[in-house]
Amino acid sequence: MVMSGKMGNNGTSTIFPMYSQHKQIDQNMIDAVFGGYDWSEGTTSVVMEGQNAKVYYHNNLIAVKFPTHITLFDGRIILVD
């Protein structure tokens, strides 16, 4: 299933309106993931690599949004630079 949406007038995502009850940092992360731009605040960041959005929490990869699906990680994967 392909989802599309646009940014609302108040900077929130119109794709998943139920997230409006979450903290602002969570909303900003979601907007960056679905808006396709790099973003960082506190211990959370979104890094775009082509069309893929990688989500990091405390420098740990927790999710990747691909154009066709989202993969979640449970923290047991160790990434080596």
Please check whether residue 66 lies inside any domain of the structure.
yes
Please check whether residue 55 lies inside any domain of the structure.
yes
Please check whether residue 68 lies inside any domain of the structure.
yes
Please check whether residue 32 lies inside any domain of the structure.
yes
Please check whether residue 77 lies inside any domain of the structure.
no
| Cβ-Cβ contacts under 8 Å for 65 (sequence gap 6 or more) | 33, 34, 52, 53, 55
Q: Specify the pLDDT at position 23.
A: 76
Q: Specify the pLDDT at position 4.
A: 42
Structure token digits, residue 11? 């900077």
Please check whether residue 12 lies inside any domain of the structure.
no
Domain count, the chain: 1
Give the domain range for residue 40: 22-72
Q: Kindly report, residue by residue over 18-73, the tens digit of the pLDDT.
A: 555 457 888 899 999 999 999 999 889 999 999 999 999 989 899 999 999 999 99
Please check whether residue 10 lies inside any domain of the structure.
no
